[in-house]
Amino acid sequence: MNRKKMMVYNLREFDEREYFTKYAEEYGLEILSSSETPTLENAYLADSCDYVNVITTPINEELLKVFKKQGTKYLVTRTIGYDHIDLKAAKSLDIKIAHTPYGPDGVAEYTILLMLMCIRKMKSIRHRFLGQDYTLKGLIGKELSDMTIGVIGTGRIGTRLIKMLSGFGCKVFAYSVHKNPELEGYTEYCSLDELFKKSDLITLHMASTDETEHMIDDNAINKMKDGVVLINTARGSLINTQAIIRGLNTGKISSLGIDVVEDESALFYYDRREDILPNSDLYLLNSYPNVVITHHMAFYTDHAVETMVKDSLKGAYLDINGKDNPFVVSK
């Protein structure tokens, strides 16, 4: 049997390799791989491969043209988001683009983790404990059940989060372009301005688009309650970083919990301990005692990793066999 070839970039030996081996056999694909990020210099690795598999690194028009010239007809990202890929260029080059929408539970649970860390001042608690300072002054927290939560975006993750929050007994308002009938009885939909005004804690679950870029800016923050808590486990581009810093400095934002930052592609998932980071805002944000930052980890569970690998290969299998492919987002 002549198997179709797939070039896999950014393959992680420690958590992905076993799943690629397992599902490549199941779906009849020949896997070529590299731990490197796809660039013009290593694009040749995908020569004669119908399928290319990537993660969150930027895939621009120039790189897509090289892939196309080499025979690529389908590119999949092992992520839910696909804003790092130039979809317009891909369409003009007749390259199908697919993604891997893993289950929402991991990100929803992690969002609650960040919420609790922020309102219970866990960063300061840990700093004191590690320094053997066991005092209480300044560490009093809040209870989630006493708070009004605003959820922006009620797709799969936002919906799952709201259902989870129902167990805490807190009041939940939601804003979304499309209302989800599944949430009747769990939340009350309102306008974005109303959500800003009413919420003690606001969490973001929108996709990254031209319309949502910097949706949290100075104007939005000014409409929020004094001392609002802000959480972002979606995309860094939703937040104007300079506006957030101003909000923290004035106390308008009492605490910030983020798993994503603007311009993170050159930072996350690399060992940058000895480097001067190109994103100086990250240094500043990390210095605040009321800011919890993690490096795009909300998705990272055993279930999600297996699902992302499996579905990135399953989509190629469906394409090869001319079957309906739910993973394709642009063709």
Exactly one of 78, 205, 235, 262 is catalytic; name it: 235
296 is known as an active-site residue: yes
Exactly one of 264, 272, 295, 306 is catalytic; name it: 264
CA-wise closest residue to 10 among 35, 40, 30, 27: 35
184 is known as an active-site residue: no
Exactly one of 272, 296, 303, 306 is catalytic; name it: 296
Matching residue, tokens 């219970």: 120
Give the pairing type, strands 51-54 and 148-152.
unpaired
CA distance readout (Å), 120 to 61, 131, 138, 143:
45, 18, 11, 8
99 is known as an active-site residue: no
| Half-sphere exposure (Cβ direction) of 141: Cα atoms closer than 13 Å | 15
Q: Which stretch of DSSP H or E encloses residue 246?
A: helix 241-250
Spatial distance between the Cα atoms of 208 and 212, rounded to a whole number of angstroms: 6
Spatial distance between the Cα atoms of 165 and 249, rounded to a whole number of angstroms: 29
Give the pairing type, strands 291-293 and 74-77.
unpaired
Q: What are the respective helix, strand and coil percentages of the chain, to the nearest 5?
A: 40, 20, 45
Spatial distance between the Cα atoms of 52 and 154, rounded to a whole number of angstroms: 31
Catalytic residues: 235, 264, 296
